[in-house]
Amino acid sequence: MSTALSRPHVASTSSKLTLVLGVASLLGLAVLLVFSFVLTDPDQRVFERGADLEPLLTGQGDAVRLLYVHFPVAMVTYIAFTLNAIGSIAVLWKKSTWWDNTAAAAAEVGVLFCGLTLATGSIWGRPIWNTWWKWGDVRLMTTTILFLIFIGYLAYRRTMSDSRVRAKRSAVVGLIGAINIPIVYKSVDWWQNRTLHQQSTLRNRSVEDLTLFTMIFGMVVFMAIFAWLMVHRFRIGWLEHQTETVGLEAAIIERRAQTSAAISDAVTDSRSSAETGSD
Amino acid sequence: MREIWALARKDLRIEARSKVVATQIVPFAMVILVLFGLALDADSRTLRDLAPGLFWVATLFASVLAIQRSIAVETISSTFEALRLSGAPAWKLFAGKALAVAIQLLAIETVLGLGIVVLYRSSFQDPVLIVTAAVAATIAIASAGSLYGVLAVGMGVRDTILPMLLLPIMMPVLVAATRAFGDGLGTAALNGWTWAGLLGLLAVVYATAGALAYAVVIEDT
């Protein structure tokens, strides 16, 4: 144990897997940019609407390109928070450190992606909805409240030093946050009962094949980035856990060794001085 | 039921003697009402229209203090251990603590209710709806608060964390209670009883979650 501690360079979060995953993610991101900005066309569709409304509604133009990022990061956000909920259940059920670490990593990466979802959505909303922010839009409000709940979760994790207590209590906070998601969704839905968000365009197949491909490719790329960050964050958490438990034990053993060495030195000294004295 | 009431009565008796809620938290809630009046230019029409939201924001802020006080009476003299030694199941301990908080919150809300009538010129058009919504919202706040209050104590947890844990999950309660009061105070044309129903559902959800989770979290206080 003390050998491992004396060689801190061994404690790295990278491996061949993360190297491959990282390079693949970055290359994928570059390819996604080419697809989003060069190969796909701006949204120039024209929709016919009822006679009482403005008769024609044009598509989103170049702003549609932002959705190749916004939609995948939003999906990854929800996957991350679902993973946190699964991890929290596993912690309470099996008292597993591995799952606690997974839940913590998922929450942290999830908050990052949630922030990106809000930011990209806001930038997209400016030209399309003509506003940065829309109170009452059910998905925007749900995502915002989710963002705040999980910032609270991360802040809460940082307040405790005992890893066993932290795991258990954070699991309760994470689960109550998760229970709250459908409640928030439903209450905002009732509150304003309107959304500016478009309904699923993928389902009714009104998009072109290349647009659809870019969207799905974006999902794959951001899932890879998510996995890459998760592995690193999980390993950091694991090393922190090792420092807390193994590190403390090693420090105690080392200290005891020093103390017993000092005691035996003192005993030897006193014996030799006693012998010298008797001579 | 006797154990729950005994525990709630203990907290209420401590309050009757220490008067922390009466002399600090209720005046704090009134200060918030006055601050809103000053910040919003004291236009009586605006204040009357916004009264439901301002009332519930003031209540939520005051509830953070009331919950911190409810937990402090146990931690100051380390009596959480004594509560656990009493042999009562964890859910009863939870119910007792939450009941005491709920009663104190209802007292705070009564004063705030008078406050909005006097300061914001509100009028209670549907008192039954107002009282029903207030009771349901109070049970939801007291339940979630009593659980999070315990989560925010002991084992080196900093007590500054409570508002950041509690207030985001109370947003559905804020939305529903504001709508119900909007109808009850006649400032919004909507069906307040639907929102009171949602508040009832929220009260059940948070009370159940608190009762189930209390056993897990009280172990390490």
ipTM confidence: 0.87
pLDDT of residue A129 exceeding 70, the answer is yes
Q: A137 in helix, strand or coil?
A: strand
* Least-confidence region, from A4-8, A60-64, B62-66: A4-8
Q: Answer yes or no: do B161 and A187 touch at CB < 8 A.
A: no
pLDDT of B85: 84
Q: Answer yes or no: do B171 and A184 touch at CB < 8 A.
A: yes
Question: Whole-model pTM?
Answer: 0.83
CA distance A177 to A180: 5
Average pLDDT, chain B: 90
Please indicate if any CB of chain B lies within 8 Å of the CB of A187. Answer: yes
Query: Which DSSP string do the residues of B90-145 spell out, in sequence order?
Result: HHHHHHHHHHHHHHHHHHHHHHHHHHHHHHH----S-HHHHHHHHHHHHHHHHHHH
By C-alpha distance, the chain A residue nearest B152 is A156
CA distance A127 to A61: 10
Confidence bin at A2 (pLDDT 50/70/90): very low
Please indicate if any CB of chain B lies within 8 Å of the CB of A193. Answer: no
* Chain B neighbors of A168, CB-CB under 8 A: 216-217, 219-220
List C-alpha distances in Å: A202 to A71, A78, A142.
11, 18, 22
Which of A30-34, A182-186, A211-215, A261-265 is most confident?
A: A30-34
Please indicate if any CB of chain B lies within 8 Å of the CB of A154. Answer: no
* Least-confidence region, from A32-36, A205-209, A216-220, B217-221: A205-209
Average pLDDT, chain A: 82
Q: Answer yes or no: do A152 and B176 touch at CB < 8 A.
A: no
| Residues pairing with B163 in the sheet | none
**B157: nearest CB among A160, A168, A172:** A160
CA distance A161 to A244: 9
By C-alpha distance, the chain B residue nearest A91 is B216
Q: What is the pLDDT of residues A224-235, one digit of tens each?
A: 999 999 999 999
pLDDT of residue B107 exceeding 50, the answer is yes
Q: Answer yes or no: do A168 and B158 touch at CB < 8 A.
A: no
List C-alpha distances in Å: B16 to B10, B13, B77, B188, B204.
10, 5, 18, 38, 29
Nearest Cα to B169, choosing from B72, B26, B64, B71? B64
